[in-house]
Chain A
Amino acid sequence: MLERVDITYISPCLAEPDKIRLKARLGKSIEEVLPYLNAVMEGASFNPAVPCITIRRDFRVLTLYPEELTMIKAENSTDAMQVIEWLKKQIRDIWERKDEITPDYTRSEKPHPLMIYKQLPGTNCGACGETNCMAFAFKLLGGEQEVDNCRPLKEGDYLESREMLNNLFVS
């Protein structure tokens, strides 16, 4: 199913510079696999509106789009490439058993506020109109705030975090 994954970009994670983040182009679209991954992978977070799915491999976080993936918090490039091999195998295995799996097209439950909080700059600067980042995280979850209202997130080098939050809250 997914044979080719070409990494196009690698750089240090902004929040944790001893970890790396990357982007990769997929050899072919995996759009139809996403609901199957959503059905099978524990802790996956699926948003059919994008569409994309966020999954975890221990401490690494991967977001899969139909023709692209991003990964954050990999140990180093060897580690990241190993995680990609793992992902290929997961997808291959799931696709082989697809007749036994009921795909799940529903949007995942809302994530935990702490998970949201961890993606925020954590400066408690108040630019969003909230007293601190945690409050902003709760409001985001409640639909009373928008990701782009956190100005530091938008203007600083928080590309992955912003993308991840957008993926969660885009409808």
Chain B
Amino acid sequence: MAIYLDNAATSYPKPEAVYQAVEDYQRNIGVSPGRGAYQRAIQAEQLVFNTRRALGQLFNISDLSRIIFTANVTEALNLALKGLLGPEDHVITTSIEHNAVWRPLMHLKKERNIRVTRLANPEGCQLDVAELEEVLGPGAELVVVNHASNVTGAIMPLQEIGSLCQEYEVPLLFDSAQTAGVLPIDVEKAGISLLGFTGHKGLLGPTGTGGLYLAPEIELKPLKEGGTGSKSYLETQPEDLPDRYESGTPNTMGLAGLKAGVEYILDRGLDEIRARELQLTEMLLEKLNRLEGCEVYGPGSARERVAVVSFNLASIPAAEAAYVLDEVYDIMVRAGLHCAPVIHRELGLENRGSLRVSPGLFTEKEELDQLEKALEEILAR
């Protein structure tokens, strides 16, 4: 049996209800939401709304019209950064950002001459909140923080960062790609101004889903204009949310699945999900630390990470190890820079990359045992 350990890229398998919801929509509703005056179109629209409602419950968002659906968190982050930042603006960010943040920032550096201050994440771990306060002092237009590294798994202190941003009145854009559906995120309590989320990882939905929450005080330029199915007599983009940012036919099939994924999470509860993840992560760390020649990056304790562990096996190239794992053992893991070149550079791994193992909610302990055995054999070759 194939063993899938790349849940940080996309979660697999999904809860049964997710497959059913997608099929049910495709077969029994199937029409475009809001684009027709018939019952079915209203049903499709209601389904999309119910997805917002489930997400609102998960993230404690009271105004559901401020949840904008996008194709993934990459689009959400692009919308946030490009819609918010103006010429010469100052942005504070971290060293664990994904290219979904880093590349738009580099683009805006060229295009709008923005200034980017990057905080250090020593050893791929937590940033220093005192350092954040120091750079917030002189002022900034935006703070962008990845909740947890998709390389080292290190979790950032959401509450402390949020409180500081509120104190200095700088909006906080939070990338929850690796944490939504696993760690509690309460936008109001944490003081998050913009929350990017992706549907296909911890939220257990299909690919092609994600979104951005905008706090009431946040005003953005849309990334695209087009048909919204509403106010069609207007030649210009409508101003009301979420329509202002949701041009084009939405991924209703995906959103039907996302709704089922989020409802599954609400039903099981974040505590139980996180406990399961912790168990697997602890077990994985223990196994890797036992292996001679295995170098693990990031926090030593599972409590400081999400279920993402990157490492290298002696001097064996990561890509080669991943190839053997797949070819010989039918175990799927990721090798390379994982779209996060900055943190790899900080770890001195820019030329090497790393092997990444990320168990998911449905990973069995026996599967980690098999991984351990395979890694032992590869090291002994």
Given contacts A7-B42, A81-B49, contact A76 B63 (CB under 8 A): no
Q: How many residues of A contact B (CB 8 A)?
A: 17
Chain A residues with CB under 8 Å of B37's CB are 9-11
Chain A at the B interface: SS class: mixed
Whether B230 contacts A82 by the Cβ 8 Å rule is no
Chain B residues with CB under 8 Å of A17's CB are 231, 233
Q: How far is the CA of A82 from the CA of B63 in the complex (A)?
A: 8
Interface segment among B237-245, B270-278, B308-316: the answer is B237-245
Whether B230 contacts A76 by the Cβ 8 Å rule is yes
Chain B residues with CB under 8 Å of A78's CB are 49, 52, 64-65, 241-243
Chain B residues with CB under 8 Å of A12's CB are 231
Q: Which of B46, B53, B65, B234 is in CB contact (< 8 Å) with A79?
A: B65
The A-contacting residues of B in range 35-67, CB under 8 angstroms, are: 37, 39, 42, 45-46, 49, 52-53, 63-65
Among A7, A11, A78, residue most surrounded by chain B Cβ atoms (within 10 Å): A78
Chain B residues with CB under 8 Å of A85's CB are 53, 64
A77 interface contact, C-beta 8 A:
yes
Whether A7 contacts B46 by the Cβ 8 Å rule is yes
Mark A112-152 against chain B: 1 for CB-CB distance below 8 A, else 0.
00000000000000000000000000000000000000000
A93 interface contact, C-beta 8 A:
no
B34 interface contact, C-beta 8 A:
yes
Q: What residue in chain B is nearest A5 (Cβ atoms)?
A: B46
Q: Which of A8, A9, A77, A81 is in CB contact (< 8 Å) with B230?
A: A77
Chain B min CB distance to A75 (Å): 5
Q: Which of B39, B45, B238, B241 is in CB contact (< 8 Å) with A77?
A: B45
Q: Which of A7, A18, A82 is in CB contact (< 8 Å) with B231?
A: A18
Whether B238 contacts A81 by the Cβ 8 Å rule is no
Whether B65 contacts A82 by the Cβ 8 Å rule is yes
Q: How far is the CA of A79 from the CA of B243 in the complex (A)?
A: 10
Q: How far is the CA of A9 from the CA of B41 in the complex (A)?
A: 10
Whether A18 contacts B238 by the Cβ 8 Å rule is yes
Q: What residue in chain A is nearest B50 (Cβ atoms)?
A: A81
Q: How far is the CA of A8 from the CA of B46 in the complex (A)?
A: 11
The B-contacting residues of A in range 1-35, CB under 8 angstroms, are: 7-12, 17-18, 20
Q: List 17 A-B contacts (CB under 8 A).
A: A7-B42, A10-B37, A18-B238, A18-B240, A75-B65, A75-B240, A76-B65, A76-B238, A77-B34, A77-B42, A78-B65, A78-B241, A79-B65, A81-B45, A81-B49, A85-B53, A85-B64
